[in-house]
Amino acid sequence: MEQVKIADHKRFTAQGKEFVFLTGTGTIFELEPESPAGSVLDHGRAGQAFTQSDLFTLVQGTDREKQALWTDLLAGHVLIDERAPAREQPEYPADTPINTLVLHVTRACNLMCRYCYHDDGNGTHFSSASMDRAVARQAVDFLFDNSGNLPALVLVFFGGEPLLNPKLISETIAYADKKAAGSGKKISYAMTTNGTILTDKVIAFIREHRIGMTVSIDGTRAAHDRFRRFPDGSPSYDVILPGVKRLLDTGTAKPVVARVTLAKAVGDIHQSLAHLLDLGFAEAGFSPVTTSEEGFMLDKGQMDVLLDQFQTLSDLFVEMALENRFLGFTNLVDLLVNLHEGEVRHYPCGAGMGMFSVDPQGGLFLCQRLTHDQAAHMGDVFNGFNRTKLAGFRKDAGLSNKKPCQGCWAASICAGGCYHEAGIRQGSLVSPNLHYCQWIKSWIETGLNAYARLAKEAPAFLDNLSLARGHEPLPESII
Residue 121, pLDDT score: 42
Residue 87, pLDDT score: 61
Residue 478, pLDDT score: 31
Q: Determine contact, residues 31/69, Cβ cutoff 8 Å.
A: no
pLDDT of residue 122 exceeding 50: no
Average pLDDT, the chain: 91
Rg value, the chain, Cα: 24
Which of 231-240's residues contact partners 24+ apart within 8 Å by CB, and which partners? 231/110, 231/111, 231/112, 236/111, 236/194, 236/196, 239/196, 240/194, 240/195, 240/196, 240/198, 240/215
Q: How many CA atoms lie within 13 A of 39 on its CB side?
A: 14
Residue 47, pLDDT score: 58
Mean of the pLDDT values across residues 77-85? 83
Output the pTM of the full model: 0.93
For residue 1, how far is the Cα from the chain centroid?
43
pLDDT tens sequence across 247-306: 999 888 899 999 999 999 889 999 999 999 999 999 999 999 998 888 899 999 999 999
What percentage of the chain exceeds 90 in pLDDT? 77
Paired sense of beta strands 28-31 and 17-22, if any: antiparallel
pLDDT of residue 451 exceeding 70: yes
Residue 45, pLDDT score: 60
Mean of the pLDDT values across residues 99-122? 83
Residue 306, C-beta contacts closer than 8 angstroms, at least 6 positions apart: 262, 266, 269, 286, 288, 298
Please, which pLDDT band fits residue 407 given cuts at 50, 70 and 90? confident
Report the range of poorest mean pLDDT among 53-67, 192-206, 430-444: 53-67
| DSSP alpha helix (H) spans, 328-427 | 330-341, 387-397, 411-414, 419-426
Q: Determine contact, residues 449/9, Cβ cutoff 8 Å.
A: no
pLDDT of residue 127 exceeding 80: no
Q: Which of 58-62, 86-90, 105-109 has the highest mean pLDDT?
A: 105-109
String of DSSP letters for 401-458: G-GGGTT-TTHHHHTT--HHHHHHHHSSTTS--GGGHHHHHHHHHHHHHHHHHHHHH-
Cα–Cα distances in angstroms (integers) from residue 75 to residues 71, 78, 359, in the given order: 6, 8, 48
CA-to-CA distance for 387 and 390, rounded, in angstroms? 5
CA-to-CA distance for 407 and 23, rounded, in angstroms? 9
- Quote the DSSP letter at residue 350: S
pLDDT of residue 191 exceeding 80: yes
pLDDT of residue 182 exceeding 80: yes
Residue 125, pLDDT score: 46
Residue 124, pLDDT score: 44
Mean of the pLDDT values across residues 386-406? 94
Closest C-alpha among 164, 98, 99 to residue 131: 164
Residue 421, pLDDT score: 94
Residue 123, pLDDT score: 43
Report the range of poorest mean pLDDT among 160-169, 198-207, 285-294: 285-294
Please, which pLDDT band fits residue 94 given cuts at 50, 70 and 90? confident
Paired sense of beta strands 355-358 and 363-365, if any: antiparallel
Q: Determine contact, residues 71/52, Cβ cutoff 8 Å.
A: no
pLDDT of residue 412 exceeding 60: yes
Q: Determine contact, residues 67/36, Cβ cutoff 8 Å.
A: no
Number of H helices, E strands in the chain: 16, 15
* Strand partners for 473: none
Please, which pLDDT band fits residue 359 given cuts at 50, 70 and 90? very high
pLDDT tens sequence across 415-426: 999 999 999 999
Residue 354, C-beta contacts closer than 8 angstroms, at least 6 positions apart: 96, 97, 98, 99, 100
Mean of the pLDDT values across residues 358-387? 96
Tell me the three-class secondary structure of 205-262, residue by residue. HHHHCCCEEEEECCCCHHHHHCCCECCCCCECHHHHHHHHHHHHHHCCCCCCEEEEEE
Residue 395, C-beta contacts closer than 8 angstroms, at least 6 positions apart: 401
